[in-house]
Amino acid sequence: MPDAAPGRADLIERLVSLCKQRGFVFPSSEIYGGINAVYDYGPLGVRLRRNIRRRWWRAMVDLRDDVEGIETAVLMNPEVWVASGHVQSFSDPLVDCTGKCRKRWREDHLADERRARGRPPDAPGCPECGGALTPARQFNLMFKTFVGPVEEDAAQVWLRPETAQGMFVNFANVVNSTRRRIPFGIAQIGKGFRNEISPGNFIFRLREFELMEMEWFCKPGSDREWHEYWCAERMRWHVEDLGVRAANLRLRAHEKDELSHYSTATSDIEYRFPFGWGELEGIADRTDFDLDTHMKHSGRDLSYFDTATNERYVPYVVEPALGLDRVMITLLVDGYDEEDVRGETRVVLRLHPDVAPVQVAILPLSKKAELCEPARAIEHGLRSRFATEYDETQSIGRRYRRQDEIGTPLAVTFDFESLNDHAVTIRERDGMSQVRVGVDSLAEALGDQLTASRSRAAQRVSGANPVDQLRGGD
């Protein structure tokens, strides 16, 4: 992954520390030593992820009249994965180090792994210790398990590595139950599992992850047009709905030798991480491969009768698919900032107000009951409209810094003067400006401030439109 963001080499390490300290991400089962490439999400991480899911579902389903939602099982009949080709070909080339470290590597990632360790990408041997590597062998990425009490071949199933197949095998069910007409989409959010050989870069590449995918069914011959449409639409979503800076995004078309066996065109929305350009979302033209394959393997008719043209055909599919965990790390990297304030370093997560875990923090100036009780009452009153948090611990300055670090756009301070003038101070995260408003008009003032914060977020992310740079990149 070349072209890392300049001057940000240690940013991932800082984020790992911040995420654990503030309750975004914890190593899974850490008290037992953890498990590689599996993470738990803390109180703030859960809030952030919920907001990302909500923004995606709203854009892909709620605000459209041509997409239906679905939720399919993690465990599926094993014949699904035979038909889809996953059993035969869902694999990566694996090599083993025979030297000191004895690590395993993906053969196609060796250059990146060497580069990440400061070694020449074409250097021989193991990226870690330089030891000799074994010849490559194929390693299937799916996790196996068994249904029932007996571990035998007949009871073997797989944990799904993607959510897409659940939508393909339910295509006829959705059409028949909703009377949808092509073109239309089926969307799903759910867990996936891949036994990655060389996971890493924090939550970028995991063994247990969450996917947000949509299958867009269209008439053969219209698929290329829809592919371009979804490339532009998905790029717009990352910039406008999530607040990712356009200058850190690019849309890169796959070369012919990169294309999956089912795809005639795939473009990746890539983000410029500290470790280089990495895939954030893929938009693939899958043609009729999946429905046709499942028709042949199952013997069930998954074709579509188009009443407008009086013809029957197997629909083509365009698939925008992204990982929730990758969206999360993108927002953390893109929003992380440090600045000098009166000789001290202030860490700020400049998150879009609609994805920030906390939108409004209520902070009494001191822990005295005469301030805490009315401040807590204010916080309770705002809960129905905003994502709020109440905090009375430590000094007000430290509390401001904590809210800056978790990305809270606005903080409200209830002080001793508030007891007399029935007003509070609103502090804004990015510019640290403050304004005094009456308690009676606080909710409206906060709403106006968040609207202004959205405008500032739009200005921050503006730049060269990456949609105009299709197939481009630095």
Beta strands in 13-140 (DSSP E): 25-27, 39-41, 67-69, 91-96, 104-106, 137-140
Domain boundaries, the chain: 11-90+141-333, 358-461
Quick one: pLDDT at residue 197? 81
Identify the band that residue 89 occupies on the pLDDT scale cut at 50, 70 and 90. confident
Q: Please, what's the largest Cα pairwise distance for the chain?
A: 78
Q: Using alpha carbons, select from 112, 410, 146 the residue that is nearest to residue 279.
A: 112
Residue 273 parent element (H or E): strand 265-273
5-18 pLDDT per residue, tens? 655 668 999 999 99
In which band, very low, low, confident or very high, does the pLDDT at 472 lie, cut at 50, 70 and 90? very low
Bridge-based pairing of strands 316-323 and 265-273 is unpaired
Structure tokens given for 334? 């893109």
pLDDT for the residue numbered 324: 98
Q: Against a cut of 0.85, is the pTM above it?
A: yes
Residue 424 has pLDDT above 60, yes or no: yes
**pLDDT grade for 258, boundaries at 50, 70 and 90:** confident
Q: What is the DSSP letter of 384?
A: T
Query: What average pLDDT does this structure show over 153-161?
Result: 92
Taking residues 95-119, report their average pLDDT. 89
% residues pLDDT > 90 (the chain):
83
Residue of higher predicted confidence among 121 and 8: 121
Secondary structure percentages of the chain, helix, strand, coil, to 5: 35, 30, 35
Kindly write down the DSSP assignment for every residue of 70-81, as one continuous string: ----SB--THHH
Is residue 458's pLDDT more than 90? no
Is the pLDDT at 436 greater than 50? The verdict is yes
pLDDT of residue 470: 36
The more confidently predicted of residues 194 and 261 is 194
Tell me if the domain spanning 358-461 has CATH number 3.40.50.800: yes
pLDDT interval class at 2 (50, 70, 90): low
DSSP string for 327-367: HHHHHHHHHEEEEEETTEEEEEE---TTT-S-SEEEEESSS
For residue 1, what pLDDT is reported? 47
Domain 11-90+141-333, classified CATH 3.30.930.10, yes or no: yes
Residue type, 449: Q
465 pLDDT band, cuts 50/70/90, is very low
pLDDT-based confidence at residue 452 (cuts at 50, 70, 90):
very high
Segment holding 406, helix H or strand E: helix 396-406
Tokens of 108: 């196609």
Cα 355 to Cα 10, 205, 385, distances in angstroms: 25, 22, 15
**Cβ atoms within 10 Å, residue 126:** 25
| The two three-digit tokens of residue 382, written as one number | 């705002």
Sign of the Cα pseudo-torsion (120, 123, 129, 133, in order): positive
